[in-house]
Structure 1
Amino acid sequence: MCGIIACRAIEPAPGYLIAGLKRLEYRGYDSAGIAVTAADGTTAVFRTTSRVDSLTGLVDGWAGPLLAGTGIGHTRWATHGGVSEQNAHPHQDCEGRVSVVHNGILDNADRLRAELVHAGHRFSSEVDSEVICHLVEDRLLVSDDLLDAVSGAVAQLTGSWALVVLDARTGRMVAAAHRSPLLAARSTAGVFLASDISAIGDWVEEFHILADGDVIEVTNDLVWTHAGTPVAVPTAIPRPPRPTFSLTLEADDHMAAEILEQPEAATRLLEEVGGRIATGALWNDLGLPRFDRMRVVACGTSLNAGEVIGSALSRLGGLAHSSVVASEAAGSVVEPGTLTVMMSQSGETADVLRALDESPEGFPVLALVNNVHSTLGRKVDAVLSCSAGPEIGVAATKTFVCQILVGTGLVISSLVASGRMDTAQARRLVNDLYLVPEQLAEAAAAARALLPPLVDEVRGAKGFLFLGRGAGVAYAAEGALKLKEITYRWAEAYPAGELKHGPLALVEQGTPVVVVDDGDPRLAGNIAEVRARGGRIITIGRAGSSIEVPLSLAAPCGPLAAVVPLQMLALGLAVELGFDADKPRNLAKSVTVD
């Protein structure tokens, strides 16, 4: 979940590298660094534990030889080793000839490090990635060809990697990938590598994706090999539309903007898929077989969205569903007639990809992602985009809404296609979906007006409970997750009926208890239980709630509009407490490590 960029450009490399790293900073912001070839045949390395912007000052202060157009860059989310300049990428070999940036986890790093130390290599960091530098260094003693050296080095690795190696002596650059995303692109500006097309989208029109086991050399062109054998360059993929977000937005602004963009994103998605739902075409076009039950495999926010989608299948079609935490999916039993839906905003979530690799064969798998060209999208039987557009805030917002909308649309469409729902009922449900953008906008307006005094009242609370019933349970879970992610306060979500089975012991005078109230009559008793213990009730939902949001009793995806005040509650509290909601501590987007 770190970010990589590299270039062999006509203009000096630092401008490209730093601009690209700003685009990738949501993937990791514990530290950042670049290595650039210099006119005297050396490599200039700049590293920082501050944000990417601070690299500009370091480069501006450079008094050494002229910096050239070839370089590599990295923004880090710490795994092995603490947050320090010493552990920041790029890493170098003993002589400073080889510089490496790496994303992924090396499972055999400890053994390799021990062997390399025994052979006389000197390590300067705690990071697993540094072993790559020394492996390449050793291979260059056997063959002075960097492509051969990197191919030989990665053959010794186990785990996952996207890596780029820069040789100061020759100026050559080689990249490799295995179970971690990396892409390459060419344009009149130069040749570029990146973890994500957003990093280099300003300079290229199309890109090529490295497959597992690919090793390529970046000259003025691309030299592609796989398992030591030259192969053709993969088919180019057109660059998607450039992101509309601004890099000048201040802290918290991306998440705030993305919350407010949800009505627009929902409208855009429904315009794309809405007309194909009630006809069954949305399902039929995927080419998947009829199914009798659904198994959702996902993590975090995507798991909550998947629970909403699965619940819609059970409620509307009477079919069974299950939700599986991706990191715990190994060994789970898949029954005949099951459709597995693997959900990931980035399509690069390592836990989901590992679950896919460990899934039993012979069962259809559908990916629901925000990037159809992602690793997950390329490895499954069919792929469906939630079309949310770029999302920079680490805590997912509009992707959650769009996943639910397209997933619920898929459920309805599959029921029509299988003869389990008539077209008239499907059209009524689709009409309800078309109401969602306006409902989201109204919910945002209500939250803006009513939340500030509530946030002020609960800012000192150390813990929160979130409750719901039925379709509201998954939204309560998402509200608790958002609060935990960006306010660093404990927050637990439960079906409201579970209060009496343990969680009620947590409630004391003033404990904030947030209730997603979709009109279930049983909630009144649960609220009374909390109030009797002195809890501070905040209801979100039907008329008379602390924050009223538009609800449709026929809504196929439950009280979706309630998620907007839940998101804004978390954001408002984070801002009030002085935290950076866009980049919460210890977290990053696109979780590409196990």
Structure 2
Amino acid sequence: MCGITAYRGPTAAASRARNALERLEYRGYDSAGIAARRPDGSTMHARTLSGVAALAVVVGEEPADATTAAIGHTRWATHGEVSEANAHPLEDCGGRLYVVHNGIIDNADALRARLVGAGHRFATGVDSEVIVHLVEQAQRPGVGLGDALADAVTHLSGSWAVVVLDARSGALAATAHGSPLICAEAGGGTYFASDVGAIAPEVDEFRVLEDDDVVEVDAAGPRWHRSGGSCRPRGLWPVPRTALLASTGRHRDHMGNEIDEQPLIARRVLEALSPGIADGRLWRGLGLPSLDGIDRVAVLGCGTSLHAGRAVAGVFGRLGGMPTRTLVASEVAHEVWEPRTLVIAISQSGETADVLRALDSLPPRHGTVLALTNNTSSTLARRSDAVIDCLAGPEVGVAATKTFVAQVLTGVCVALSALAAADRGDSACVDADLRALAATPDALAAALDTWRGPCAQLAADHARASGFLFLGRGAGLVYAAEGALKLKELSYRWAEAHPAGELKHGPLALVTTGTPVFVVDNGDPRLDVDIAEVTARGGRVIRIGERVLNVGGVALHLPRTGPSWGPLESVIPLQMFARELALRLHRDVDKPRNLAKSVTVS
């Protein structure tokens, strides 16, 4: 969601903060801004609705960019309309203090009323503005910026990652509570960021601010402390190698390149994880209990990550015969948890607020939590009993593509290894799944080659369609759901996914002449009847996953048979079609409206 960057160092602070903001654009945002201290003590303060690129003009006007401290922000509006006035950084009454904030301040209205009564002047409708006025109120002679920030946040209720700039002294102070923030040192300067990807090219290692840590940076360097006492700096984390592996390719948009990269991602995951599957070494290396001590697998996630989890749950259920359930993270509060449950919590960023809040609802001794994430230094990773890296590398497109494939394959490798370690599952079925797993990169590559032309033609044929149906059965249903989600996210057209067997229980009313209906074929013979129902009403069926043989001039459709996690390669044409249709409709496929990559508020 919102992105924070900050830097204090010898020179070029504004440029460094702006460049880091550019690497956070993938998270999605409505506005952006930057504030920096010049050597003469004056302040550069710029905000825009035109994207981070517009800030480059302002920064470029700085003579050799001699700024020594800067903070930057990309905002995804929650409280207050999208406007330049509401963009961060926000300033205090005197123009000395500037603040950037991620999160939500639940008691902002009460604090605003109190601060207005004390004489403070508010310039925005944003909940975050109370923070800068609280710091202003706490900063008295003899009280440093870090202490003032520590005092200010004692009045807050909610979640926050905050960096404050004192434009007079050039000091920075930062703190976090329920929202991610990291700190790193390199080249004589200190960086802050909400995501390691923002500063990965500049640093080799970083520290994570735990809840209520305060870090103050001035001429003496960074100092870590807590309100009422001091603390040592947190341990260092290495910057993940995959944080630098951004997708490149022939497309102008990132999403096209990330779709094309999926066979490479699959090979990366399998090369890293598959050697530990057959002997159970991968599972045992996570330090988790044997499946003999687990009664149920519960998958927890949101959106695309939830769909990936459903595919992974299929391995435990269909192959291992284990009870499984899939839980929407935002709806977990009233769930009844069984003991001896393995909870697989899935989040691309590892900072998804609904997933983290769902973990809060777990009762003591509920079982075991395995985090499946693309960010092994994230809050989710640190709060789990074990973590597995999805190895997807940075994904710039807000709508997930390659991270979905990486999540499915990573989870499948772990699940197969868990079954092997516990000696569960029919050996012939396990062997078939292992062969299918090894063939996945080639299957994904073949899907790319096969569907590139047809997807472009399908997008042209259905550019005027007002809505789409996606159908599947069994293991294919999760891919139908993901296809519908991608189409909604990118094209802004209505798309619904349903079990094909539910057609006659309502959804068939939507089918009329020309209605496009995507069917994900996982080999279930009952799909032929479902397809007949659609075609009888004039719907146009696009069947994904079958094999077609020509016998005596007659096309015979032979359903594919697939592994326990379903026909993963079927997601390729669904992603490609969603992108092609969106481009034809002149949508921004990398930054769909109203979407954020890392949803850190709920």
TM-score (norm 2): 0.95
Aligned partner of 1:553 in structure 2 is 561
Give the one of 345, 350, 366 matched to 1:347: 350
Q: Does 1:571 align with 2:579?
A: yes
Residue 554 of structure 1: CA displacement? 4.6
Aligned partner of 1:239 in structure 2 is 239
Which structure 2 residues correspond to residues 193-342 of structure 1 after superposition, within 5 A? 193-219=192-218, 220-241=220-241, 242-245=243-246, 253-289=253-289, 290-342=293-345
Q: Does 1:404 align with 2:412?
A: no
Which structure 2 residues correspond to residues 413-432 of structure 1 after superposition, within 5 A? 413-421=417-425, 426-432=430-436
Residue 427 of structure 1: CA displacement? 4.2
Q: Which residue identity lines up with residue 279 of structure 2 in the other structure?
A: T
Give the one of 509, 525, 538 matched to 1:521: 525
Return the alpha-carbon distance in structure 2 between the equivalents of residues 559 and 247 of structure 1: 26
Return the alpha-carbon distance in structure 2 between the equivalents of residues 162 and 549 of structure 1: 55
- After superposition, the C-alpha distances for 1:309-360 in whole angstroms (9 at most, x for unaligned) are 1122111011111011001111211112211110001100000001111211
Counting aligned pairs with the same residue, the percent is: 54
Q: Which residue identity lines up with residue 374 of structure 1 in the other structure?
A: S
Residue 115 of structure 1: CA displacement? 1.2
Return the alpha-carbon distance in structure 1 between the equivalents of residues 139 and 25 of structure 2: 33
- After superposition, the C-alpha distances for 1:449-488 in whole angstroms (9 at most, x for unaligned) are 2112211111111111100000000000000000011110
Return the alpha-carbon distance in structure 1 between the equivalents of residues 174 and 310 of structure 2: 39
Aligned partner of 1:437 in structure 2 is 441
Aligned partner of 2:552 in structure 1 is none
Return the alpha-carbon distance in structure 1 between the equivalents of residues 380 and 149 of structure 2: 26
Q: Which residue identity lines up with residue 112 of structure 1 in the other structure?
A: L
CA RMSD of aligned residues (A): 2.1
Contact 1:278–1:423 at 8 Å: present in 2 too?
no
Aligned partner of 2:81 in structure 1 is 82
Aligned partner of 1:57 in structure 2 is 57
Residue 421 of structure 1: CA displacement? 3.1
Give the one of 565, 577, 593 matched to 1:585: 593
Aligned partner of 1:357 in structure 2 is 360
CA 1:319/1:456 → structure 2, altered by over 3 Å: closer, same or farther?
Answer: same
Aligned partner of 1:100 in structure 2 is 99
CA 1:416/1:247 → structure 2, altered by over 3 Å: closer, same or farther?
Answer: closer
Aligned partner of 2:545 in structure 1 is 541
Return the alpha-carbon distance in structure 2 between the equivalents of residues 495 and 143 of structure 1: 66
CA 1:89/1:494 → structure 2, altered by over 3 Å: closer, same or farther?
Answer: same
Return the alpha-carbon distance in structure 2 between the equivalents of residues 151 and 207 of structure 1: 22
CA 1:144/1:232 → structure 2, altered by over 3 Å: closer, same or farther?
Answer: closer
Give the 3-state SS of the residue equivalent to 2:581 in structure 1.
helix
State which drifts further: 255-264 or 65-74.
65-74
Residue 540 of structure 1: CA displacement? 0.7
Aligned partner of 1:532 in structure 2 is 536
Residue 294 of structure 1: CA displacement? 0.5
State which drifts further: 419-428 or 296-305.
419-428
Aligned partner of 1:37 in structure 2 is 37
Q: Which residue identity lines up with residue 176 of structure 1 in the other structure?
A: T
Give the 3-state SS of the residue equivalent to 2:496 in structure 1.
strand
Return the alpha-carbon distance in structure 2 between the equivalents of residues 552 and 521 of structure 1: 10
| Equivalent pairs, count | 591
Aligned partner of 1:16 in structure 2 is 16
CA 1:143/1:498 → structure 2, altered by over 3 Å: closer, same or farther?
Answer: farther
Q: Which residue identity lines up with residue 12 of structure 1 in the other structure?
A: A
Contact 2:216–2:224 at 8 Å: present in 1 too?
yes
Residue 292 of structure 1: CA displacement? 2.1
Residue 248 of structure 1: CA displacement? 11
Aligned partner of 1:453 in structure 2 is 457
Which structure 2 residues correspond to residues 176-195 of structure 1 after superposition, within 5 A? 176-195=175-194
CA 1:425/1:549 → structure 2, altered by over 3 Å: closer, same or farther?
Answer: same
- After superposition, the C-alpha distances for 1:366-412 in whole angstroms (9 at most, x for unaligned) are 11111111110001111111111111111111111111112112222
Aligned partner of 2:117 in structure 1 is 118
- After superposition, the C-alpha distances for 1:501-550 in whole angstroms (9 at most, x for unaligned) are 111111122211111012211111111111122212111111239x9999
Contact 1:3–1:74 at 8 Å: present in 2 too?
yes
CA 1:282/1:33 → structure 2, altered by over 3 Å: closer, same or farther?
Answer: same
Q: Does 1:395 align with 2:399?
A: yes
- After superposition, the C-alpha distances for 1:414-445 in whole angstroms (9 at most, x for unaligned) are 12222223667544422210100000000011
Return the alpha-carbon distance in structure 1 between the equivalents of residues 585 and 476 of structure 2: 28
- After the TM superposition, which parts of structure 1 deviate over 4 Å for at least 4 consecutive aligned residues? 246-251, 422-425, 547-552
Return the alpha-carbon distance in structure 1 between the equivalents of residues 254 and 557 of structure 2: 24
- After superposition, the C-alpha distances for 1:221-248 in whole angstroms (9 at most, x for unaligned) are 3211134321111111111225233799
Contact 2:321–2:425 at 8 Å: present in 1 too?
no
Contact 1:37–1:171 at 8 Å: present in 2 too?
yes
Residue 580 of structure 1: CA displacement? 0.7
Return the alpha-carbon distance in structure 1 between the equivalents of residues 201 and 88 of structure 2: 24
Residue 62 of structure 1: CA displacement? 5.8
Q: Which residue identity lines up with residue 319 of structure 2 in the other structure?
A: L
State which drifts further: 417-426 or 352-361.
417-426
Return the alpha-carbon distance in structure 1 between the equivalents of residues 61 and 217 of structure 2: 29
Return the alpha-carbon distance in structure 1 between the equivalents of residues 427 and 498 of structure 2: 36
State which drifts further: 563-572 or 144-153.
144-153
- After superposition, the C-alpha distances for 1:120-155 in whole angstroms (9 at most, x for unaligned) are 211111111111010011111475421111000011
Give the 3-state SS of the residue equivalent to 1:393 in structure 2.
coil
Q: Gaps spanning 5+ residues in structure 2: where?
A: 550-554
Q: Which residue identity lines up with residue 455 of structure 2 in the other structure?
A: L
Aligned partner of 2:69 in structure 1 is 70
Residue 283 of structure 1: CA displacement? 1.2
Q: Which residue identity lines up with residue 112 of structure 2 in the other structure?
A: R
Q: Gaps spanning 5+ residues in structure 1: where?
A: none
Q: Does 1:165 align with 2:164?
A: yes
Return the alpha-carbon distance in structure 2 between the equivalents of residues 559 and 424 of structure 1: 19
Give the 3-state SS of the residue equivalent to 1:68 in structure 2.
coil
Contact 2:251–2:257 at 8 Å: present in 1 too?
no
CA 1:525/1:427 → structure 2, altered by over 3 Å: closer, same or farther?
Answer: closer
Contact 2:31–2:49 at 8 Å: present in 1 too?
yes
CA 1:450/1:189 → structure 2, altered by over 3 Å: closer, same or farther?
Answer: farther
Q: Which residue identity lines up with residue 10 of structure 1 in the other structure?
A: P
CA 1:66/1:267 → structure 2, altered by over 3 Å: closer, same or farther?
Answer: closer
